[in-house]
């Protein structure tokens, strides 16, 4: 019997997240202050007070969710479990909590990541949509035909596709014809985890050249391989790779079962990952950290 902490990605944000922790817990306050210092701006003002339009900007929301999630962990006083994992940008949070990446470095990397993702594709030229009710292999085949990509394989019957708008639109019509229960655009300012993000991947290679990654103090399950990676160079390569490739969350959850993980704690805003895990397997008991 083993346990894992899991950390959410973009979409979990709410204005005011972490504000009470900042007021009442010194360990959490230190995390938020370190992120403000690293970015040379008061990101905490946007996190705690909004407006939501500013918080959801890719360049803000990524370091904001990381900061809130790490602050929640530090405030909890919990010991590290045997395993950690994260969904998309949550991978950075998991590595931060496991001691592989410094909080300040994670904030700067995620700011660079958000800027690079937005710069790679002009606003309005890309699209990200969630597809409900179809098998992943069916979605993949239609994406291949249409010139777009699977961004997230979240759980059985829930896949996110991404790419240039005209390609995602074309795929969406085919997916509806193939029997998708729903195909719904997501409110993201840039398409994610797809081939059009190659310029962003190149920018992240440059960003990582100035950052030291250490071996994690917990076993980190990668979205790239759906297996444990602990070599710092491999971790760096996996984080760059995820810019242009699928977040394989469903497969990662199945690997958690194979590794004997029986308990998961979701740490961060929202409770998306708990739902995805529960829809993938009944062999992992999921709890939400409340601090």
Establish whether 87 is a catalytic residue: no
DSSP string covering the chain, please? Answer: -EEEEEE--TT---TTTTHHHHHH-HHHHHHHHHHHHHHTS-HHHHHHH--HHHHTSHHHHHHHHHHHHHHHHHHHTPPP-SEEEESTTHHHHHHHHTTSS-HHHHHHHHHHHHHHHHHHS-TTTEEEEEEESS-HHHHHHHHHHHT-EEEEEEETTEEEEEEEHHHHHHHHHHHHHTT-SEEEE---SS--SSGGGHHHHHHHHHHHTT---PPPSSEEEPTTTSSEE--HHHHHHHHHHTTTS-B-HHHHHHHHHHTTEEEEEE-SSS-HHHHHHHHH-SSSEEEE---
Question: What is each CA distance from 221 to 43, 78, 197, in whole angstroms?
Answer: 29, 20, 23
Task: Indicate which residue of 76, 88, 189, 222 is catalytic.
Answer: 88
Annotated active-site residue in 162, 189, 193, 245 = 193
2 is catalytic: no
Q: Could you give the CA distance from residue 18 to residue 48 in angstroms, rounded to a whole number?
A: 7
Give the catalytic positions in this structure: 88, 193
């Amino acid at each position: 019997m083993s346990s894992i902490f899991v950390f959410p990605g973009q979409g979990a944000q709410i204005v005011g997240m972490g504000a009470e922790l900042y007021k009442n817990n010194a360990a959490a306050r230190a995390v938020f202050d370190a992120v403000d210092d690293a970015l040379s701006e008061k990101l905490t003002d946007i996190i705690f007070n909004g407006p939501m339009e500013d918080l959801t900007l890719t360049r803000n929301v990524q370091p904001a969710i990381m900061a809130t999630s790490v602050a929640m962990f530090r405030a909890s006083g919990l010991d590290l479990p045997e395993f950690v994992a994260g969904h998309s940008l949550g991978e950075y949070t998991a590595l931060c909590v496991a001691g592989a990446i410094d909080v300040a470095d994670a904030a700067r990397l995620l700011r660079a990541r958000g800027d690079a993702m937005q710069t790679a594709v002009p606003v309005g030229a890309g699209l990200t949509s969630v597809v409900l009710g179809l098998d992943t292999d069916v979605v993949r085949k239609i994406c291949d035909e249409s010139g777009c990509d699977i961004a997230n394989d979240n759980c059985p019957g829930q896949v996110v596709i991404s790419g240039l708008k005209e390609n995602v639109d074309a795929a969406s019509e085919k997916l509806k014809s193939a029997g998708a229960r729903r195909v719904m655009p997501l409110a993201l300012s840039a398409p994610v985890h797809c081939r059009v993000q190659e310029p962003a991947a190149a920018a992240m290679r440059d960003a990582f050249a100035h950052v030291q990654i250490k071996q994690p103090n917990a076993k980190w399950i990668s979205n790239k391989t759906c297996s444990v990676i602990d070599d710092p160079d491999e971790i760096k390569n996996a984080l760059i790779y995820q810019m242009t490739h699928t977040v394989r969350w469903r497969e990662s959850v199945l690997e958690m079962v194979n590794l004997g993980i029986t308990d998961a704690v979701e740490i961060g805003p929202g409770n998306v990952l708990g739902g995805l895990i529960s829809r993938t397997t009944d062999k992992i008991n999921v709890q939400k950290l409340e601090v």
